[in-house]
Chains A and B, each alone.
Chain A
Amino acid sequence: MKPIGMTAGEELDWVPTGVRQDMVRHQEKVRDAIRTNLADIVLDERIGVTDGSKIIQVPLTSYREYRIGFDHDQGENVGHVAKDGALGAGSAGESEAGKQGGSEPGCDVEETALSLEEIEEVIFEKLSLPHLDLSRHALGESNNSTEPDTLTRTGPRSQWNRRATLRTHLRRRASQGEPRFGVLIPEDLRYWLYHPAPNPEGGAVVLAMMDTSGSMGNFEKYLAKSFFYWTVAFLRKNYPHVELVFLAHDVRAREVDEETFFHRGASGGTVSSSVYRLALDVLEQRFRPEQFNAYAFHFTDGGNLTSDNGFAEECGNRLKERTNFFGYGEIHDTERSPSPLYQAFSADGTNVIVLRGKEDIFRALMKFFGPDTQEVTRAQSL
């Protein structure tokens, strides 16, 4: 028998061909699955609390690998028992399962655990405030200034100011009686110091208006709240300086805090003009147009008091002129024609949307904040 030949090699920084693309493709699939499952995530009770650390089990049915196999929830199979009934003798071991042969096809099915943050990242990735005018500066500051203005004795190498350092050096040498270039010492060094500058991003205010009349059933309220929940989360993440104003209305409108807005019950009739007037008042008194981009969103079931329709339309149009963007959403769980107010708004190019089911929430987010808002607006105004 001839001796066994054996050779050995070493591969540094090498991975199988294409593994990166396949990982990227896998992540895309996960992201797609999150988007298609958004409604279920949104309506999941557990998410009602803003707790970014929470891991949520998202069933991502669209990206599972399906096999025809046995139902493992019935019958029995053979397994090992830890000796002397010592339960889990191997479970805490450092290297469970030891080795793995070269024949493992990855074919299990699983739910993917994602943190709220990861989900938000996927959902918010493409969202932005439409028609944002960056020249309207509001208060608030950031650290991203580009103009250095003072000097300091310590700092990063990249901010070393050679001219100031040389001047200090020569001045020190001159005071010692030797007005020539010598050896630099740490006391000679000068660095640029950057100061926080005003945020060049525009200031913005978002008015969240919600119908809390008695005709808003649980389903309608749920959809409206879910929409605003994600809107608020998105704004807080992408635009930390945005001001939020919560307006609830039935026959009358009032400004409420966030907690009340999301958790109060509903009663009374619907007069939409009341909330538009209040919105205009709030903008007039607190948010000057040259400083703030203004956005208004109104969600209702469309059951506006008939006698109010004309006035509501007029106020709505004034609000639309006063704001960068006015979105109007109606929630119907049944097939019925949209309200007169909806028709009036859609006729003159206001952004309108009808929500019929929970899967429409992502559609509404995309429509109002998505990348093609401008196109949508243009198409509708034609």
Chain B
Amino acid sequence: MLRASDLQSLFDRLRPAIEESGLHLDHLHVDVVDADTLNALASYSGMPSRISHWSFGKTFHRLRTTHDYRMTQIYELVVNNRPAYAFLDRTTSKAQALMILAHVVAHVDFFQHNRLFYPTPYDMLTRMARHRHDFLELTRQHGVASVESLIDAAMVLMDFVGERPRVPVGASAPDDVMGFVIQHAPHLESWERHALATLYTEARYFWPQQLTKVSNEGYATFWHQRILRQTELSPEEAWEVSRLHASVVQVTQPQLNPYRLGLALYQQLWTDGGVDRVLDARTQYDDLGLIRSAFQEGMVEHSGLALYRPQESSPEPRVGSFAAIQSQLLRDLENGGIPHMSVQQEDSLPELALWHHHDGRDLDFTVLPFAMRLVASRLWKGKVRIRTVRQRVPHVVSHDGTQWEDSVG
């Protein structure tokens, strides 16, 4: 059973290696909590207080069930905030906690130095708690149904908040669909616009994390391995640590393990240019940048990468050339795995016109009508149109809240 008092001494053991590593952070606060609490926190993306929505309850239910069946175990959660907050599972052993602490420290260093995170607010923990209060007040005034349906619909657009980290006030980038809707939707009430703006800031806060899954996890895995090698461990501790590390980087065919891939990439950078190259990469790169600069020929073989067709019931690995694997990886991780969408508004039309920048992958047409109906009926309160390509044929799909249309051309 891990206690808060243990953590302090464990951290002191790691401190020399951390301080020598070049990692830097101001302050880290670690809370030890129950496994169930950790699952609950994970469903709120680590936020102890966040707006209320049934989807968080659903995620918690799923995490709890998979945890009960021993299918997933969350060891840590790190919140991008200053001071940085982390949560650890009470049931981890001290040796495991050593490794997890080193991992957490690297995550925090990543949050505080990576270019993509410069614009994220420092005090999101308290802001989120305030958002909760604001939304409770809105629920009191306007009813559960209207606030809940607003969040349901906003969640569709929260994936489309624009790629560029900073845009001048008042001007919105074309790929900032949500920002555009908040500003220009013709029939939104002012409280709705306000609530959407709040959700928008949350989406912008989480967006860089979408783009840095491999780089952030790889970086943390790289450093926990390195720091623990420089820390004196008893044989029992060394055994436990290696076991935990092995489970973190283990292969679960046919999934891509970001810890494993990211670790290989940072190890490559280390070989190329030592610690400076590693620290430079954590400042500069998102997932795509990291792969472009560090992905090497031998890694396909060494990390065991292959191509899969996910539609097969038991996908068979297909050997790919270095170039094929690299370009597919870039495509998988492009834009956080979310389609590129931009606003193509013509002033004369009262419709919301979007353009899907087709890159070879079609949109999922089974859920598209439902997603568009939410946006059309609750946010735009009018017709929403998307120009896309399906099976190499141009399509225009639209939904006005009641009617779904799909026409070729």
Partner-B contacts on A (CB < 8 A): 1, 3-19, 21-29, 61, 63-83, 87-91, 93-107, 109-110
Contact = CB atoms under 8 A, between A and B. Distances in A.
B256 A6 contact: no
B44 A8 contact: no
B252 A69 contact: no
B257 A80 contact: yes
A113 to B, nearest CB: 10
Contacts of B33: 10-11, 14
Interface string B50-67: 101111111111100000
Contacts of B309: 75-76
A67 B152 CA distance: 10
A101 B209 contact: yes
Given A70-B361, A99-B259, A80 B254 contact: yes
A73 B339 contact: no
A24 B54 CA distance: 8
A82 B304 contact: yes
A1 B362 CA distance: 51
A68 B339 contact: yes
B405 to A, nearest CB: 16
B402 interface: no
B4 A98 contact: no
B interface: dominant SS: mixed
B49 A106 contact: no
Contacts of A102: 42, 45-46, 77-80, 107, 209
Contacts of A18: 49-50, 52, 132
B159 interface: yes
A8 B304 contact: no
B75 interface: yes
Contacts of B60: 19, 22-23
Given A79-B253, A102-B78, A21 B45 contact: no
Contacts of A96: 71-72, 250, 252
Contacts of B161: none
A110 B54 CA distance: 15
Interface stretch (B23-31, B186-194, B342-350): B23-31
A5 B251 contact: no
A80 B24 contact: no
A96 to B, nearest CB: 6
Contacts of A98: 73, 75, 244, 247-250, 259
B54 A70 contact: no
A61 B369 CA distance: 12
Contact of B311 (A16, A27, A74, A91): A74
Contacts of A105: 45, 206
Contact of A23 (B11, B57, B251): B57
B398 interface: no
A286 to B, nearest CB: 48
Given A8-B32, A80-B251, A89-B251, A16 B304 contact: no
A34 B44 CA distance: 26
Nearest to A98: B248
B217 A10 contact: no
Given A22-B57, A102-B78, A104-B45, A72 B250 contact: no
Contacts of B155: 65, 67, 107
Contacts of A63: 54, 58
A82 B249 CA distance: 12
A4 B25 contact: yes
B19 A3 contact: yes
Most chain-B Cβ atoms within 10 A of its Cβ — which of A11, A16, A104?
Answer: A16
Nearest to B31: A9
A57 to B, nearest CB: 15
Given A78-B307, A79-B308, 8 more contacts: A8-B8, A15-B40, A16-B48, A64-B370, A67-B159, A68-B371, A78-B308, A80-B256
A78 B328 contact: yes
B363 interface: yes
28 contacts: A7-B28, A8-B4, A11-B33, A12-B34, A15-B37, A16-B47, A21-B57, A23-B60, A24-B57, A29-B54, A67-B371, A68-B363, A68-B367, A69-B364, A71-B361, A71-B362, A75-B361, A79-B305, A80-B253, A95-B70, A96-B250, A98-B73, A98-B244, A100-B42, A102-B45, A102-B46, A102-B209, A107-B155
B75 to A, nearest CB: 5
A103 B54 contact: no
A78 B332 contact: yes
A76 to B, nearest CB: 5
A75 B27 contact: no
Interface string B269-303: 00000000000000000000000000000000001
B278 to A, nearest CB: 17
Given A72-B310, A78-B305, A106 B59 contact: yes
A80 B332 CA distance: 14
Interface string B213-257: 100110000000000000000000000000010011111111111
A59 to B, nearest CB: 11
A225 to B, nearest CB: 32
B298 to A, nearest CB: 15
Nearest to A65: B55
Contacts of A107: 55, 155
A22 B40 CA distance: 11
B307 A26 contact: no
A66 B370 contact: yes
A94 B247 contact: yes
A69 B361 CA distance: 10
A8 B5 contact: yes
Contacts of B372: 68
B49 A14 contact: no
A94 B70 CA distance: 7
Contacts of A79: 253-256, 305-308, 315, 317
Nearest to A14: B37
Nearest to B325: A78
A81 B305 contact: yes
A158 to B, nearest CB: 33
Contacts of A28: 54
Contacts of A12: 34
B317 A106 contact: no
Best-surrounded residue of B37, B248, B303 (most CB of chain A within 10 A): B37
Contacts of B140: none
Nearest to B75: A99
A243 B296 CA distance: 76
B76 interface: yes
Given A16-B44, A18-B132, A64-B367, A81 B15 contact: no
A103 B45 contact: yes
Which 9 pairs between the two chains have the least Cβ-Cβ distance?
A: A106-B59, A103-B209, A22-B57, A26-B57, A98-B248, A102-B46, A8-B7, A79-B254, A5-B27
Nearest to A87: B253
Given A83-B304, A98-B248, A72 B311 contact: yes
B396 interface: no
Given A22-B60, A102-B77, A4 B216 contact: no
Interface centre among A22, A87, A94 (most CB of B within 10 A): A22
